[in-house]
Amino acid sequence: QNALNVPNEMQHRTTAVCILATLRRRYSRDYCTVSAVAFVNGGWGKSLCQRGKLYGPYSAFQPHDQHSSWCSTCTSKRLFSISSSVSTNAIPVQVDQIDTQQKRIYTDYEKLVRRLYMTNLYHPVKLGLQNMEQLNEALNRPLEQGDIKIIHVAGSNGKGSTSYKIAKSLELAGLRTGLFVSPHVSSFRERMQVNFKPISESEVEELLPEIFRVCEEREIRATFFEITTALAFRYFSKEKVDAIVLEVGLGGRLDSTNIVTPTLSVITSIGLEHTRILGDTVEEIAVEKAGIIKEGKPVVVGPCVPHDVVRNIARERGADFYASGELTPKWSKDVEDGAESSAVDFDAENSRIATAALKLLKQMNEVDVEMDHIEKGIVSRPPCRFEQTRVSVSSTNDEIVISGGGNVGDVEVEVVLDVAHNPSALKQLVSKLEINYPNKAKRIVIGFSRDKDIKKCIEYVLTVVKSSGIHLVQAAHPRAASIEQIMEAAPSLMEGARCDDSDRSITTQVQKALNLAAEQGEVLVVCGSVFLMAEAREALGYEEARDSDYISEVAGVNLRHAQEHFTDTNPCAPFSWDEHLKLENNS
């Protein structure tokens, strides 16, 4: 009863897990899941479930509305029903009513990464860098063992692409280069790479238990992102890298990566994002991003940053300040320094910032990188950054295959994937679409996280496509905005935008959009939240490493709202990880 009385939407998932923990203790271990009723989006009666899947003794919960097909799927598999009106007595259902699945043995990698994703459920997140500093000390400061060049990259947009370009150039120059990025697209292992080869499952199995053990022995209540960052540090140390490009997770000043002393700091751009955490103005956010600037260490700043704010902070810390335009004066597409992000080519802007950073590193005699390496390195882009491909659609059997990956279909559709997810990024995306496809109609599949300015985002999208050419989707992630929330934020979509109440899967909408694009000769654009990209890429036929359902069903449990490593979490943590392991073993 007490658990259900929590009136805060941010706590609904932990509430459900509290209920689950209680029921698991009281009833048979044969029961695998719970459907709970909790306070979500302003009212009782919304279901929290695990998309109808039965995996082990413990479930991760995804919020969704009462019209979702997931609810109808889960209804037949529900084992307990909790009433919100009078009492919370649980009513067990007979085991023979359960739609069981064939059991399989999970790998140590799957178990470890699943445990990592669920870390934040068991204790509150602590504001600040204390956890990370303690964990780094307990691991013997792995990045301080040797002369490793560290480039620390922050920014509202472009930090992932800029990091990628810098790392590729350093690799081409002969340096063994580590790259740390977040979030990932399809596999957790993408987050830490050496020479663009992701960490292997066996290496995760080797290193992650050590970090869990240290946390338990020293009672360090580390979060998902803190443990992931520590794992990357240990991995890079073990691989004896020469250089590391370290992308900030969120903000800068209090980000888990900010315990390093970098060779060079880079700030790509500043926009209004995560305002509940970082501040309500561009200037306030700039102060948070500039928190990565260290005493006496230079900083390179992109054009779409309030230079006066960052320059003052650099001066206070005795750090040399460089505008990217000062180091790369001859560039085809200039943006006035200090200007707000405008409709220029983001990729060109990121390439210029990366070039400036690399040229400065060479001037400092920190790395031996030549312009040939830089010119080849900056043309590279990470996945889903204006990623262009062609998809063949067969008119005979609706088979969808990537060009060159199977039988050639009857119609080829040009597809663009881009994780533009906020107004400034979408403004630049639509501008680039018009430049690259000036005489072609577009069709767009799009979804958002709840904390974005969805209304402004849709305004930019509607400049290149009518509402009838927009397919709305909702990622299977706690931060994802529902289709109803998107339409409420952008009422212009209510008439014409495509969605399907009976089947809200991303796969279905991508395939429908692909077929329509083939029929009408359109370019298909999949954009918005990174959390929808893994399923979209799978639907388009990409063959790549991706995490299993056993992992992906709990991906996002660590991200309670948009501030995974900033927010204080529910004080009534359900139960310890040791108890959970016992339940796993017993089952």
Q: State pLDDT tens for residues 294-334.
A: 999 999 999 989 999 999 999 999 999 999 999 987 665 44
Alpha-carbon dihedral sign for residues 285, 286, 288, 289? positive
Q: Which residue has the higher pLDDT, 354 or 34?
A: 354
Q: What percent of the chain has pLDDT over 90?
A: 46
Q: Which two tokens stand for residue 567?
A: 């927010």
Domain identity same for 32 and 153: no
Residue 38: pLDDT over 60: no
Do residue 162 and residue 85 come from a single domain? Answer: no
- Region of poorest pLDDT, from 52-66, 208-222, 252-266, 451-465: 52-66
Model pLDDT, residue 212:
96
- pLDDT in the model for residue 363: 96
State the average pLDDT for the chain: 76
- The reply to whether 353 and 404 lie within a common domain is no
Please indicate, yes or no, whether residues 367 and 441 belong to a single structural domain of this protein.
no
Between CA 66 and CA 48 the distance in angstroms is 10
**Tokens 């658990």 appear where?**
3
- Concatenating the DSSP letter of every residue in 320-337 gives -EEEHHHH----SS---T
Of 120-134, 426-440, 573-587, where does the model show the most confidence? 426-440
Give this prediction's pTM. Answer: 0.75
Q: Which of 354, 352, 325, 356 is nearest to 338 (CA)?
A: 325
User: DSSP strand E in 66-159: where?
Assistant: 149-154
**Confidence band (pLDDT; 50, 70, 90) for 354?**
very high
Q: How far is CA 579 from the centre of its chain?
A: 29
What average pLDDT does range 469-481 have in this prediction?
84
Which amino acid type is present at position 398? D
Classify residue 364: in a domain, yes or no. yes
Backbone CA torsion sign across 260, 261, 264, 268:
positive
> Where a domain ends, among 103, 137, 161?
103
**Phi and psi of 269, rounded to 5°?**
-160, 160
Q: In the Cβ-directed half-sphere of 542, how many Cα atoms lie within 13 Å?
A: 21
| Distant-in-sequence, close-in-space partners of 91: CB < 8 Å, separation ≥ 6 | 80, 81
Domain endpoint, select from 509, 528, 547: 528
The predicted pLDDT at position 367 comes to 95
What distance in Å separates the CA atoms of residue 41 and residue 65, rounded to the nearest whole number?
9
Residue 503 placed within a domain: yes
Residues 372 and 445 in one domain: no
In a domain, 191, yes or no: no
Residue 436, domain member (yes or no): yes
Q: What are phi and psi of 414, to 5 degrees?
A: -80, 130
Question: Would residue 480 count as lying in a domain?
Answer: yes
Q: What CATH number is attached to the domain comprising 350?
A: 3.40.1190.10
* Region 280-302 average pLDDT: 91
Q: Is residue 345 part of a domain?
A: yes
Closest CA to 293 of 324, 330, 255: 255
> Is residue 537 a contact partner of residue 185, using CB atoms and an 8 Å limit?
yes
At 192, is the pLDDT very low, low, confident or very high (cuts 50, 70, 90)?
A: very high
Confidence check: pLDDT of 82 > 50: no
Half-sphere exposure (CA, 13 Å, Cβ side) for 128? 6
**376 and 409 part of one domain:** no
Instruction: Using the CB atoms, write b or e for 143-173: b if 16+ within 10 Å.
Output: beeeebbbbbbbbbbbbbbbbbbbbbbbbbb
Question: What single-letter DSSP state applies at residue 189?
Answer: G
Q: What is the pLDDT of residue 291?
A: 92
The answer to whether residue 209 sits within a structural domain is: no
| Residues 484, 522 within the same domain | yes
Element (H, E) at 245: strand 243-247
In a domain, 234, yes or no: no
Higher model confidence: residue 37 or residue 384? 384
User: Which candidate, 65, 121, 70, 151, places its Cα nearest to that of 359?
Assistant: 151
Specify whether the CB–CB gap between 310 and 282 falls below 8 A.
Answer: no
Domain CATH code at residue 424: 3.90.190.20
| Residue 52 CB neighbours (<10 A) | 18
Contact 495, 467 (CB under 8 A): yes
Joined tokens for residue 16: 């459900």
Whether the Cβ atoms of residue 475 and residue 538 lie closer than 8 Å to each other? no
Give the model confidence (pLDDT) of 197-241 as tens digits: 999 999 999 999 999 999 999 999 999 999 999 999 999 999 999
Work out the average pLDDT over 118-126: 68
Q: What's the start-to-end Cα distance of the chain, in Å?
A: 27
Regarding whether 414 and 372 lie in a shared domain, the answer is: no
Residues 372 and 446 both lie in one domain: no
Consecutive H or E run containing 246: strand 243-247
Spatial distance between the Cα atoms of 567 and 559, rounded to a whole number of angstroms: 10
Residue 557 has what DSSP assignment? T
Q: Residue 332 is part of which domain span? A: 148-175+242-380
CB neighbours (10 Å) of residue 491? Answer: 10
Surface-to-core class of residue 269, CB atoms within 10 Å of its CB (0-12 exposed, 13-18 middle, 19+ buried): buried
- Distance, CA of 384 to CA of 271 (rounded, Å): 20
Query: Burial of 546 by CB count in 10 Å (0-12 exposed, 13-18 middle, 19+ buried)?
Result: buried
Residue ending a domain, choose from 506, 528, 550: 528
The pLDDT, as a whole number, for residue 272 is 64
Query: For residue 44, what are its two tokens?
Result: 């009782």
Cα distances from 400 to residues 397, 460, 467, 506, in angstroms, run: 9, 29, 25, 15
Do 508 and 446 sit in the same domain of this protein?
yes
Share of the chain above pLDDT 70, in %: 69
**Per-residue pLDDT for 521 more than 60?**
yes
How far is it, in rounded angstroms, from Cα 564 to Cα 512?
34
Q: Specify whether the CB–CB gap between 577 and 122 falls below 8 A.
A: yes
Quote the number of domains for the chain: 3
Length in residues, the chain? 587
CB under 8 Å to 57, separation ≥6 — which residues?
24, 29, 32, 583, 584, 586, 587
9 shares its domain with 158: no
How many CB atoms neighbour CB 374 within 10 A? 24
- Mapped to the 3 state alphabet, what secondary structure does 358-409 carry? HHHHHHCCCCCCCHHHHHHHCCCCCCCCCEEEEEEECCCCCCEEECCCCCCC
Residues 407 and 489 in one domain: yes
In this model, does residue 261 exceed pLDDT 70?
yes
Integer CA distances (angstroms), 197 to 109, 160, 275, in order:
17, 16, 34
What pLDDT digit, counting tens, does each position of 406-461 carry?
455 578 899 999 998 888 889 989 999 999 999 999 999 999 888 788 899 999 99
